[in-house]
């Protein structure tokens, strides 16, 4: 999303101090300008701290490098574009009830946000690896310290075969707009005999594009279940999108393209070797 020119001028003003975890603007802005600047800083993750000793927007991650990159491109990643809607605690609780985590169980969270699922899963004894595309949220995940491994990457670019093992559980709440792609990709990291639990938009039940139809067919074959979540479940995270919980078990030898399934496929190179 573009940084409006008025906001850009304020943030690049030599009097503005951007350092550590805060942005300080020690000069008067008119009302409209302040509103624009405040909205953008809040959208990036900042919170106004009006105490005399602070009087700055404070961020839960080091904002200096991040802001430098944004100002260089005159763009910032809005959380709507990246689909950042943290899972509210009630739904995390439901996910973990279905997951029946045991001590030491391996879990993947492939779009981990700020760790709403990672933290409680680790709290129940899981060994959690996670992936997140956004450097600010990766920083927060590192601070949280709950995951064994945190990969800053586009999950869709990761090859399941680069992962030496599958996971007993994949727990996820991917960006709603690309949820089917994320869940399909995540199946490639699931152990045979494991379970995938995903929050998805309710629209996966009726969207009629080919990918969604094939997804529903696959989940039906695997006897997975879609259970609608109560309306307004994501209101605490700022969206009224209707959601559901998908729970699907990967029966060994079943129809899901699991990690084991990927390993059993002939490698492209092997095919060439035969000709």
Ligand X SMILES: C[S@@+](CC[C@H](N)C(=O)[O-])C[C@H]1O[C@@H](n2cnc3c(N)ncnc32)[C@H](O)[C@@H]1O
Residue 61 vs 155, nearer CB to ligand X: 155
Residue 11 vs 112, nearer CB to ligand X: 112
Residue 10 vs 95, nearer CB to ligand X: 95
Nearest to 269 by CA among 130, 117, 177, 161: 161
CA distance 228 to 26: 49
Residues near ligand X (CB under 6 A)? 82-87, 111-113, 116-117, 131-134, 137, 154-156, 173-175
Shortest separation between residue 256's beta carbon and ligand X, angstroms? 21
Shortest separation between residue 92's beta carbon and ligand X, angstroms? 7
Residue 37 vs 186, nearer CB to ligand X: 186
Report the residue closest to ligand X, judged by CB.
113
3-state secondary structure of 94: helix
Shortest separation between residue 47's beta carbon and ligand X, angstroms? 18
Q: How many CB atoms within 10 Å of residue 58?
A: 18
Shortest separation between residue 158's beta carbon and ligand X, angstroms? 8
Shortest separation between residue 112's beta carbon and ligand X, angstroms? 5
Shortest separation between residue 117's beta carbon and ligand X, angstroms? 5
CA distance 108 to 117: 10
Q: Tell me 56's DSSP state.
A: E
Which residues on neighbouring strands pair with residue 243, listed in sequence order?
201
Buried/exposed code over 164-199 (b: 16+ C-beta within 10 A; e: otherwise): eebbbbbbbbbbbeebbebbbbbbbbbbbebbbbbb
For 187, the token pair is 């199946």
First to last CA, the chain: 49
Residue 197 vs 256, nearer CB to ligand X: 197
Residue 117 vs 196, nearer CB to ligand X: 117
Q: Tell me 27's DSSP state.
A: S
Q: Tell me 193's DSSP state.
A: E
């Amino acid at each position: 999303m573009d940084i409006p020119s008025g906001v850009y001028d304020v943030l690049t003003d030599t009097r503005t101090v951007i350092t550590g975890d805060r942005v300080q603007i020690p000069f008067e802005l008119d009302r409209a300008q302040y509103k624009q600047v405040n909205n953008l800083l809040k959208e990036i993750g900042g919170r106004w701290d009006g105490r005399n000793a602070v009087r700055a927007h404070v961020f839960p991650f080091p904002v200096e490098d991040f802001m430098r990159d944004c100002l260089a491109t005159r763009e910032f990643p809005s959380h709507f574009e990246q689909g950042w809607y943290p899972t509210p605690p009630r739904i995390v609780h439901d996910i973990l009830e279905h997951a029946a985590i045991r001590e030491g169980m391996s879990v993947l969270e492939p779009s981990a946000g700020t760790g709403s699922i990672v933290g409680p899963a680790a709290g129940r004894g899981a060994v959690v690896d996670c992936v997140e595309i956004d450097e600010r949220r990766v920083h927060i995940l590192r601070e949280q310290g709950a995951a064994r491994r945190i990969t800053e990457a586009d999950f869709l670019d990761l090859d399941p075969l680069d992962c030496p093992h599958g996971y007993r559980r994949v727990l996820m709440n991917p960006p709603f707009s690309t949820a089917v792609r994320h869940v399909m990709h995540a199946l490639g990291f699931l152990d045979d005999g494991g379970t995938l639990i995903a929050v998805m938009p309710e629209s996966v039940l009726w969207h009629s594009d080919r990918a969604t139809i094939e997804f529903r067919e696959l989940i039906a074959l695997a006897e997975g279940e879609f259970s609608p979540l109560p309306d307004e479940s994501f209101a605490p995270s700022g969206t009224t999108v209707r959601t559901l919980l998908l729970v699907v078990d990967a029966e060994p030898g079943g129809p899901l393209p699991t990690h084991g399934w990927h390993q059993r496929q002939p490698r492209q190179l092997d095919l060439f070797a035969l000709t």
